[in-house]
Structure 1
Amino acid sequence: MPLTHFEDLSAHGQGFVDDPYPVYARMREHGPVHRVRTAASGEFWLVVGHEEARALLTDPRLSNDIRHSAAWQDDGGNSIGLNMVQTDPPQHTRLRGLVARNFTTRRIEALRPRVQQIADELVDAMLPSGGADLVEAFALPLPLAVICELLGVPAGDRKAFHDWYLESTDFTRPEVAGAAAQAMTGYLADLIAAKQLAPGTDLLSALAGDAGDGEDRLTAEEMLGMAFLLLVAGYETAANLLSGGTLALLRHPDQLAALRADWSLMEKAVEEMLRYEGPVETTAFRYTKEPVEIGGTLVDSGESVAVVLAAASRDSGRFADPDRFDIRRDARGHMAFGYGIHHCLGAPLARMQAAVAFRTLLERCPRLALDTDPDALVWRPSLMLRGLHHLPVTFG
């Protein structure tokens, strides 16, 4: 039976936030499942093995509904609506189906010319200065503009929404977080109402047209939660992919040179970026509905369990030499988008957007280089999302 040990992740400080992979590798040497503690979430179970992660994410004995947690309590009123991430079948199946029938490959592919235009405009704005914070000037505004256009959010409202989101996820200031969540709730409710009165061709209008009574309709709470999920999941994770992927390329000049010499490697390069430095570090909690054995460890009923997607994607049992960044690698099987019924619905949009953005950036900035010591870069202190605060670069 695998050995498990207790790990206080908060005790590792900012060093763990900036580079968690050695800690996860050491934990995996003791077994795929461990009891851990963080300052934000207390004690819970963490899965760091690839095989065990896939098994858990398809196990119906674990629920995404917090009401199955033994420690369930009110979240303070900061939750915005009800979305797919928080539900199980059959409710999840219904919600995902309603979104999927409108979030089509055709709709996503139709965005490609606009993604290219936005990327070019952002590079045009960056180049004259000779350098920029790539997060602020490119990685964040590109997906924010794309997802807002897809959903039909007016351009003038995008900065306010972004500021609200950042404040709502600041768990060190609960009063600020609560006020921001309420502001977002009110804004989205008004936007949805406006789409219902005067629908456009955007995705939010299509979903608003599906709101109402009946099994094939979204309730008001579901509509609100879906709008929030699509907006947030559609741009912060994409921004993390763009900044983290660029950093991986700049820290591996041989791989950057190989990609510039052969653009046909772009698809594999994006998959390797997702595997090596994925934008989502850890899943949301799953809750055991009954005692479950995970990787040889018995987890009691009502326990909170999270999967470290970043650790599963660097499991040497699945990927040879997993800490090596290699854009020619067959990275299929990585866990960046999750697995099972909660596999990220926006994965095709993220891949298309990344391919356009990376080629545009690398072609138009041939002397792109880091403008800081890579060890001085600071990552956001979140166990769930993995993203850089800033990425200073020069254009040569």
Structure 2
Amino acid sequence: MSVQVTDLAEFGEQFRTDPHPVYARLRERGPVHRVRLPAPDAHHETWLVVGHEEARAALADPRLAKDGNRIGITFLDEQLIGKYLLIADPPQHTRLRALVTRAFTARRVEALRPRIERITADLLDAMLPRGTADLVDAFAYPLPLTVISELLGIPEPDRAEFRALSSEAVAPTGAIAEREAFVRLAAYLTELIEDKRCSGPGDDLLSDLIRTTAADGDRLSPGELRGMAFLLLIAGHETTVNLITNAVHALLTHPGQLADLRADMTLLDGAVEEALRYEGPVENATFRFAAEPLEIGGTAIGRGEVVMVGLTAAHRDAARFPAPDRFDIRRDTRGHLAFGHGVHYCLGAPLARLEARIALRALLDRAPDLALAGPPGAWLPGMLMRGVRSLPVRW
């Protein structure tokens, strides 16, 4: 029996700007669909999960592999960077995560609070006298980039180039540019790790990962170290940029909610969680592969087929979140999937939340007349990230 394939490219640029109506129409027909992805992944077909219950189950289903090698596929990132958590399955994933969590502890994240507050204050000191700015360029991007760079020991002169390369890696503008970004990132991280080995590891997280040894003597290999550094650097700032930007955009386009938050800052945690649900920083989880035949939401998935779990789509499922298109900072957001679910739940979630809370509180405190100064810039290409290139604001 032939399967209906929805070509997402047919919805044009409007799908990139506002995919929610398309996902809503798909959900009306069922929780799982065969889709053809738009550029830059044009002609690539995948199963797309758009229902919340089905998405949550799929994220934790061990039959859906993250390691393409289980079905005979090796991707560009693994070839050039090495194995890391997002493309590994248990027991390899269990081993890698255990080694990383020995160094990347909750205590270490909380100890970053004063430094995050200082970086935030310095960025606002530079931005606010101007009266208007692109929030992404002046604030939302440099904050998490500086935090993760300092955490991992990335020298300041290297950060501008790293920003360009990481943006291309997560929201590629084309296949050639994407490959070049991975090649350059792999070379840079290899050199950085070797420099730290030779000069003597410092007190940064990457140095700790180099030193970390499990009770049985297990350590990260050079390739695993490179993969871990890649994941922490990319996931440690690209997603947080979008979280801060999308949260500010949502608040400024919902003045009643913004006024409520200004009047009662105890609502801040709820505002961050609702921003994660309403317009989260990751549109779709990275690909999964059926290691064996299975069913998702009544749809048969054959072994070796590709599955994409829609986080943005799941978060607008009325069966889980009533009136899902309403931005409501008092909403019960429990069960949102912005940081994933199951064994691949985001290791950096506490840091992302901490940065977003500090950033929003400081921005709203110091810019009481904050408002949009124009429409947001273009939405990021591809199906992975959900964010804009720029956000003009004034105060």
TM class by shorter chain equals over 0.9
**One-letter identity of the residue aligned with 2:85:** M
Q: In structure 2, the residue corresponding to 1:192 is in which secondary structure?
A: helix
**Is residue 2:251 matched to residue 1:249?**
yes
How well do the aligned residues superpose, as a CA RMSD in angstroms? 1.9
**Is residue 2:208 matched to residue 1:206?**
yes
**What is the match of residue 55 of structure 1?**
57
**Is residue 2:394 matched to residue 1:394?**
yes
Q: Return the offset for 1:171.
A: 4.2
Q: Return the offset for 1:211.
A: 7.4
Q: Return the offset for 1:69.
A: 4.0
Q: Is the 8 A contact 1:5 1:30 kept in 2?
A: no
Q: Return the offset for 1:201.
A: 1.2
Q: In structure 1, the residue corresponding to 2:383 is in which secondary structure?
A: coil
Q: Return the offset for 1:176.
A: 3.4
**What is the match of residue 30 of structure 2?**
31
Q: Is the 8 A contact 1:78 1:181 kept in 2?
A: no
Q: Is the 8 A contact 2:6 2:36 kept in 1?
A: yes
Q: Return the offset for 1:154.
A: 1.3
Cα separation, 1, equivalents of 2:208 and 2:188: 18
**What is the match of residue 260 of structure 2?**
258
Q: Return the offset for 1:169.
A: 4.9
Cα separation, 1, equivalents of 2:62 and 2:170: 29
Q: Return the offset for 1:271.
A: 0.5
Q: Return the offset for 1:158.
A: 0.9
Q: Structure 1 residues 76, 92: CA separation in 2 closer, same or farther (over 3 Å shift)?
A: closer
**One-letter identity of the residue aligned with 1:379:** W
Q: Is the 8 A contact 2:76 2:179 kept in 1?
A: no
Cα separation, 2, equivalents of 1:34 and 1:215: 46
**Is residue 2:224 matched to residue 1:225?**
no
**What is the match of residue 290 of structure 1?**
292
**One-letter identity of the residue aligned with 2:379:** W
Q: In structure 1, the residue corresponding to 2:12 is in which secondary structure?
A: helix
Q: Return the offset for 1:116.
A: 0.7
Cα separation, 2, equivalents of 1:204 and 1:228: 11
For residues 348-393 of structure 1, give each alpha carbon's deviation from its aligned partner in whole angstroms, at most 9, with x where no partner exists: 001111000000001101111101146xx42111211111111001
**One-letter identity of the residue aligned with 1:242:** I
Structure 2 unaligned blocks of 5 or more: none
Cα separation, 2, equivalents of 1:28 and 1:366: 39
**What is the match of residue 312 of structure 1?**
314
Cα separation, 2, equivalents of 1:170 and 1:326: 29
For residues 141-167 of structure 1, give each alpha carbon's deviation from its aligned partner in whole angstroms, at most 9, with x where no partner exists: 000000111111111211121122234
Q: Structure 1 residues 339, 180: CA separation in 2 closer, same or farther (over 3 Å shift)?
A: same
TM-score by length of 1: 0.94
Q: Return the offset for 1:341.
A: 0.4
Cα separation, 2, equivalents of 1:77 and 1:314: 33
Structure 1 unaligned blocks of 5 or more: none
**What is the match of residue 5 of structure 2?**
6
Q: In structure 1, the residue corresponding to 2:21 is in which secondary structure?
A: helix
Q: Return the offset for 1:75.
A: 3.2
Q: Structure 1 residues 69, 233: CA separation in 2 closer, same or farther (over 3 Å shift)?
A: same
Q: Return the offset for 1:175.
A: 3.4
Q: Is the 8 A contact 1:78 1:178 kept in 2?
A: no
For residues 94-143 of structure 1, give each alpha carbon's deviation from its aligned partner in whole angstroms, at most 9, with x where no partner exists: 00111111111110011111111111111111112110000011000000
Cα separation, 2, equivalents of 1:295 and 1:79: 36
Q: Return the offset for 1:249.
A: 0.1
Q: Is the 8 A contact 1:68 1:288 kept in 2?
A: no
Q: In structure 2, the residue corresponding to 1:201 is in which secondary structure?
A: coil
Q: Is the 8 A contact 2:311 2:337 kept in 1?
A: yes
For residues 260-306 of structure 1, give each alpha carbon's deviation from its aligned partner in whole angstroms, at most 9, with x where no partner exists: 11111111111001010100010111100111011001111100001
**What is the match of residue 130 of structure 1?**
131
Q: Return the offset for 1:231.
A: 0.2
Q: Is the 8 A contact 2:375 2:391 kept in 1?
A: no
Cα separation, 1, equivalents of 2:126 and 2:234: 25
Q: Is the 8 A contact 2:245 2:387 kept in 1?
A: yes
Q: Is the 8 A contact 2:127 2:138 kept in 1?
A: yes
Cα separation, 2, equivalents of 1:373 and 1:282: 24
**1:178-217 alignment, distance < 5 Å:** 178-197=179-198, 198-210=200-212, 216-217=218-219
**One-letter identity of the residue aligned with 1:387:** G
Q: Structure 1 residues 348, 77: CA separation in 2 closer, same or farther (over 3 Å shift)?
A: closer
Q: Return the offset for 1:73.
A: 5.6
Q: Is the 8 A contact 1:211 1:223 kept in 2?
A: no
**One-letter identity of the residue aligned with 2:381:** P
| Higher alpha-carbon deviation: 260-269 or 162-171 | 162-171
Number of matched pairs? 389
Q: Return the offset for 1:67.
A: 2.2
Cα separation, 1, equivalents of 2:274 and 2:171: 30
**One-letter identity of the residue aligned with 1:182:** V
Q: In structure 2, the residue corresponding to 1:325 is in which secondary structure?
A: coil
Q: In structure 2, the residue corresponding to 1:116 is in which secondary structure?
A: helix
**What is the match of residue 269 of structure 2?**
267
**What is the match of residue 106 of structure 1?**
107
Cα separation, 2, equivalents of 1:175 and 1:287: 25
**What is the match of residue 16 of structure 1?**
15
Q: Structure 1 residues 170, 381: CA separation in 2 closer, same or farther (over 3 Å shift)?
A: closer
**What is the match of residue 383 of structure 2?**
383
What's the % identity of the aligned pairs?
Answer: 54
TM-score by length of 2: 0.94
Q: Structure 1 residues 79, 306: CA separation in 2 closer, same or farther (over 3 Å shift)?
A: farther
Q: In structure 2, the residue corresponding to 1:337 is in which secondary structure?
A: coil
Q: Structure 1 residues 61, 265: CA separation in 2 closer, same or farther (over 3 Å shift)?
A: same
Q: Return the offset for 1:215.
A: 6.5
